[in-house]
């Protein structure tokens, strides 16, 4: 396994692969890898000859006051995990390699990125689409794999690939969960002591909504179900709801009435840690 | 020579070339080709094994009220000219092939695109960067050639290639002029009767500025030279100045004092036709 830190070297490697007809699978990450990331690597490998994992904590997708500085980093550990997962190349550029002084170009999605996390974190998806477009141009993958935990992100990236005609396929991998159902996330590291258990409120909220939809023979007004979930979440003292939204899984447009097939996403602060989760109902 | 209208077919062709190690030269145009475009084709050919010319009157770079509908089109004529210039592929997609319903992704340059034509035509360069990013992803060129008449456009595209890491090289070709010095442009077709001669005021303005700079032993205040050129242009009754600007050729930042090496760009309406020209002083 090779660790590449320069854009020039990574792109040269990618161009050699292209000429040789080697199919490239790509898993963009912010590092501090967990089993969820490794499941993306396995999917990439199934579709490609070589797998590149990028590890880059992208500053442009963090808002002022968010956890950019304290976001967990451990390249040595990531390296071992990638080695074990038979990754071919880790691309781990420094921030000033990715963003030269005076950089002034961004990629912007203006529809799917407006609600949900986009409403709570204005500018976040502009940072995501910009860095992913850059990574696609550097790694030149045939297929790129994203996790379904970041449901809106995957939708925005798919839209970017369609609308900018990137010559590649996007695969969205199912959410991987801990034994107790907490969605895997690098940010789970922040959940010390009792907070770890409090974080289950996200998963329990999804289950509660699913149960309500199953037991109801009619569509349920989204407003009513939102209020119910809000109250449910507030019963966990360390939890503060950021948003809960019921929406069409393709357009991400909020629905007035919740039925089987409606998608539910929520973001909840557990202490200072913002966690997200989602499910098809 | 092949004419391709579908994105899928063009991209498949480009991917075959990539695998075969064929170097691709690319000249994006809005059609109604003239000798200036053909000079770009020759430069592309000098750097590549095959040359693709795109012909697409891109709606997103026209503002409401501009000449999108009447912009000259003649694919048969363009085809003959490309054939004569040994172009390998014309890529001529329809507007609804390039922009699917509900498209919602744009590429935006936020610095170089602010002044000059960007100030007169807000949104124009967003349309340009978006369509060129799409075309790069469809044609996958090794080298793309742009004309220096659109000086700001070339600077914005070079910045986009740098900041989004497109794996290609940009070549900027010198302005080609008619025998009397008018910069070649598809829009010159609009100049009927006396307007054709009136349009020389752009070229004469550049020469006047150059002469002033040459004869002066000291930097000339840009404001003074602007006023002079403005008055000069106003002496042509059919001419209405849009802007005249003196700026640094790399940053496009306006200068206070004009010296040799300063760049001059101007946009002038001749009747209803907006023409641009520029020169290094």
Residue window 2-21, chain A: list those with CB within 8 Å of chain B.
7, 11, 14-15, 18-19, 21
Domain assignment present for residue A178? The answer is no
Which residues constitute the domain of residue B34? 2-173
Examine the domain organization and report whether B56 and B190 are in the same domain.
Answer: no
Say if A11 falls within a structural domain.
yes
Measured between beta carbons, the chain A residues lying within 8 angstroms of B163 are 100, 103-105, 134
For A260, the token pair is 């089987």
The C-alpha atoms of residue A223 and residue A255 are separated, in whole angstroms, by 10
Active site residue A37: yes
Assigned domain for B152 exists:
yes
Q: Quote the radius of gyration of chain B (alpha carbons, Å).
A: 19
The pLDDT value recorded for residue A81 is 98
User: Number of CB pairs < 8 Å for A and B?
Assistant: 96
| Count of CB atoms situated within 10 Å of the CB of A238 | 18
* Per-residue model confidence (pLDDT) at position A73: 96
**Confidence at residue B223, expressed as pLDDT on a 0 to 100 scale:** 97
Closest CA in chain B for residue A101: B163
- How far apart CA A217 and CA A232 sit, in angstroms, is 22
Report helix, strand and coil shares of chain A as percent, to nearest 5: 40, 25, 35
Which of B14, B112, B165, B170 best probes binding to A when mutated, by most A CB atoms within 10 angstroms?
B165
Q: Shortest CB distance from B108 goes to which of A18, A106, A166?
A: A106
Task: Kindly state whether residues B9 and B145 are assigned to the same domain.
Answer: yes
- Check which CATH number belongs to the domain holding B79 and give it: 3.40.50.620
Beta bridge partners of A243: A267
Domain boundary among B173, B208, B237: B173
- The Cβ-side half-sphere exposure at B262, using a 13 Å CA radius, reads 25
Residues A142, A8 within the same domain = yes
Indicate if A91 and A135 belong to the same structural domain: yes
Kindly state whether residues B163 and B192 are assigned to the same domain. Answer: no
Q: Determine the 3-state secondary structure of B88 from DSSP.
A: coil
Residues of chain B neighbouring A130 (CB-CB closer than 8 A)? 164
In angstroms, the Cα distances linking A158 to A42, A261, B70, B185 are: 20, 20, 35, 38
Question: Is the whole model's pTM more than 0.90, yes or no?
Answer: yes
Which residues of chain B are within 8 Å of residue A15 when distances are taken between CB atoms? 167
Q: What is the pLDDT of residue A143?
A: 98
**What is the pLDDT at residue B109?**
98
pLDDT tens digits, A78-127: 999 999 999 999 999 999 999 999 999 999 999 999 999 999 999 999 99
Average pLDDT, chain A: 97
Shared domain for A160 and A227, answered yes or no, is no
CA–CA separation, B135 vs B140, rounded Å? 8
Return the residue in A100, A155, A164 with the most chain B beta carbons within 10 A, the one to mutate for interface testing: A164
Same domain, A114 and A65: yes
Task: Say which CATH number the domain at B213 has.
Answer: 3.30.1300.10
| Shared-domain flag, residues A25 and A162 | yes
Tell me the pLDDT tens digit for each residue of A141-158: 999 999 999 999 999 999
Residue of B21, B105, B163 with shortest CB distance to A160:
B105
Does residue B63 belong to the interface with chain A, where contact is any CB pair within 8 Å? Answer: no
B178 within domain boundaries: no
pLDDT at A105: 98
Instruction: Supply the pLDDT for residue A175.
Output: 98
**pLDDT one-digit tens code per residue, A4-35:** 999 999 999 999 999 999 999 999 999 999 99
The interface residues of chain B toward chain A in range 70-109, judged by CB-CB distance below 8 A, are 100, 102-109
All residues of chain A having their beta carbon less than 8 Å from the beta carbon of residue B49 are none
Active-site pick, A37, A103, A204, A263: A37
Q: Which pLDDT score, from 0 to 100, does residue B93 have?
A: 98
For A142, nearest residue in chain B (alpha carbons)? B15
> Does B180 reside within a domain?
no
pLDDT for A249 equals 97
Spatial contact of A98 and A58, defined as CB atoms under 8 Å apart: yes
Clarify whether residues A156 and A233 are in a common domain: no
Residue of chain A nearest B132, judged by CA positions? A164
Segment A60-81 mean pLDDT: 96
3-state secondary structure of B267: strand
Residue B73's pLDDT is 96
Q: Is A77 found in the same domain as A25? A: yes
How many domains does one find in chain B? 2
Q: For residue A10, which residues of chain B lie inside 8 Å, CB to CB?
A: none
Q: pLDDT tens, position by position, for chain B (281 residues)?
A: 999 999 999 999 999 999 999 999 999 999 999 999 999 999 999 999 999 999 999 999 999 999 999 999 999 999 999 999 999 999 999 999 999 999 999 999 999 999 999 999 999 999 999 999 999 999 999 999 999 999 999 999 999 999 999 999 999 999 999 999 999 999 999 999 999 999 999 999 999 999 999 999 999 999 999 999 999 999 999 999 999 999 999 999 999 999 999 999 999 999 999 999 999 99
Cβ distance of B129 and A105 shorter than 8 Å: yes
Pairwise CB contact (< 8 Å): B163 & A108? no
């Amino acid at each position: 396994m090779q660790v590449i830190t320069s854009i020039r070297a990574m792109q040269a490697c990618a161009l050699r692969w292209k000429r040789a007809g080697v199919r490239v699978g790509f898993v963009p990450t912010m590092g501090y890898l967990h089993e969820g990331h490794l499941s993306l690597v396995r999917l990439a490998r199934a579709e490609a000859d070589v797998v590149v994992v990028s590890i880059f904590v992208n500053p442009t997708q963090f808002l002022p006051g968010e956890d950019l500085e304290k976001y967990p980093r451990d390249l040595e550990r990531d390296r071992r995990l990638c080695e074990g997962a038979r990754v071919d190349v880790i691309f781990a550029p420094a921030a000033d390699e990715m963003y030269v002084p005076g950089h002034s170009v961004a990629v912007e999605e203006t529809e799917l990125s407006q609600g949900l996390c986009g409403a709570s974190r204005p500018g976040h998806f502009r940072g995501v689409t910009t860095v992913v477009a850059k990574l696609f141009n550097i790694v030149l993958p045939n297929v790129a794999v994203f996790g379904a935990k970041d449901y809106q992100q995957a939708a925005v990236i798919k839209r970017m690939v369609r609308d900018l005609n990137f010559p590649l396929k996007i695969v969205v991998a199912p959410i991987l969960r801990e034994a107790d159902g907490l969605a895997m996330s690098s940010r789970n590291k922040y959940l010390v002591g009792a907070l770890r258990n409090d974080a289950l409120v996200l998963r329990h909220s999804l289950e509660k909504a699913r149960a309500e939809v199953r037991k109801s023979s009619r569509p349920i007004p989204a407003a009513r179900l939102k209020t119910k979930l809000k109250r449910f979440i507030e019963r966990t003292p360390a939890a503060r709801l950021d948003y809960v939204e019921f929406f069409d899984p393709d357009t991400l447009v909020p629905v007035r009435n919740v039925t089987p097939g409606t998608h539910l996403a929520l973001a909840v602060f557990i202490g200072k840690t913002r966690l997200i989760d989602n499910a098809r109902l």
